[in-house]
Amino acid sequence: MEPIKILKDIMVDLKFVIPPSNKKCMLTIHLKKDKLLLDVVREFIDDNNIPCYLENSLLSVVEHLIQESLRIDTERDNKIKSESDAINIRKNLVSKYKKHTVRYNDAPAEDIFPKAYHNLVHSPVPSIFDTLLQLEQGYKQAIKDIVSASDSELECIQSRHHKEIETESGCNNGINNLIEKYREDVEYNQAALASELEEIKRQQKSEYCDLVVKLYEAHQRSLSVHQSATDLNMRLDGKEIVSEVISSLKKSKYELSKEVLKLDQGHDTRSRHGSISSLSEIISSPVMTAPPSPMFSPVLSSFSGNGEDNYFNV
């Protein structure tokens, strides 16, 4: 048998029953690295007066224990290596994500919106408030137009269905097919309306928030420039601020709604009192500071069918 070399230091506890007295004892064999296993076992036998005929059995047991110890070490090392590889993979993934991924974070804009809206509503420049009110009314009209178009289409579906029923020969299968087709057309009409409303409200909300924040920033810049003036009402030009912001949005935004574009074509000349009184129909919001924006009023019903439901709550 080829001599076996010990690869690491090991201490092995062995239980012996030594004849002729059958005395039980516990002995420890110290296996030193780089020594030959056979030499260590024979030295152990001599030192402890163990019968020589137990040499092969002892050698076999110790060899098995050494192999088991090496197996455990190998599994532990592989596990450590696997965990290390997993950690490296995660690190590389995070590194690539940070390097190549653009992460959109709208939190700053969302955080500043309540403050921005509150300041603009209470601004000494009435035309800024009127601009927001005009935009909200434009958004509301856009919703009404969509609902009205859907209602007109639904009326056409109903009219067509009635004509088809009247001209049907009376076959039950034919009537059933027409009823099923009518049901599908109505369901498609309602689904298309819901989808279109959801999309336009999402666009309106995003656009409205952007405009409010941009107006607030431009308003604050103007206040800073004219802070030495004794009468800010005479110095600040609300129409100029609105035009500046819309021009900026035209350059940065891929597309603006027609409601926003109309703001730059002319402004109402209503007084501040008239603007404030027009807020009588606004429902208070639990989030915004008074007076809250009607664009974020709580919804009482999911859809009223007449375009009067509150915006952006889908």
User: Tens digit of pLDDT for each residue in 22-62?
Assistant: 777 888 888 888 888 888 888 888 888 777 887 888 888 88
Q: Both tokens of residue 13?
A: 């506890």
Angle 101-111-130 from CA coordinates, rounded to 5°: 120
37 vs 18: which has the higher pLDDT: 37
Q: What are the residue ranges spanned by the domains of the chain?
A: 10-100, 107-143+200-296
Structure tokens belonging to residue 131: 């601009």
Axis crossing angle, helix 37-47 with helix 55-100, rounded to the nearest 10: 130
CA 75 from centroid of its chain's CA atoms: 40
Measured at the CA of 145, the angle between CA 312 and CA 292, to 5 degrees, comes to: 35
Six-digit token string for 260: 């926003």
Q: Which of 9-13, 41-45, 235-239, 307-311 has the lowest mean pLDDT?
A: 307-311
pLDDT of 196 strictly over 90: yes
> Token pair of 116, please?
């921005």
Q: Which of 72-81, 92-101, 256-265 has the lowest mean pLDDT?
A: 92-101
**Residue 118 and residue 287: Cα distance in Å, rounded?**
12
- At residue 33, the pLDDT reads 82
Cα–Cα nearest to 133, from 123, 222, 305: 123
- Kindly state the tokens that stand for 109: 């804009």
Q: Is the pTM of this model over 0.75?
A: no
Assess whether pLDDT exceeds 50 at residue 109.
no
Binning pLDDT at 50, 70 and 90, where does residue 164 land? confident
Residue 154 backbone phi and psi in degrees, to 5 = -65, -40
With a cut of 90, say whether residue 74 has pLDDT above it: no
Confidence of residue 254 (pLDDT cuts 50, 70, 90): low
Answer yes or no: is pLDDT of 19 > 80.
Answer: no
Strand partners, 12: 29
Percentage of the chain lying above the pLDDT 70 cut: 73
Determine the number of helices (DSSP H) and then strands (DSSP E) in the chain: 9, 2
φ and ψ of 298, to 5 deg: -70, 145
Q: What are φ and ψ of residue 80, in 5° steps?
A: -60, -40
pLDDT at 154: 93
Paired tokens of 189 = 């009409």
- pLDDT, tens digit, 9 for 90 and up, residues 274-297: 333 333 333 233 333 334 444 544
CA distance 289 to 28: 81
Mean pLDDT for the stretch of residues 215-223: 86
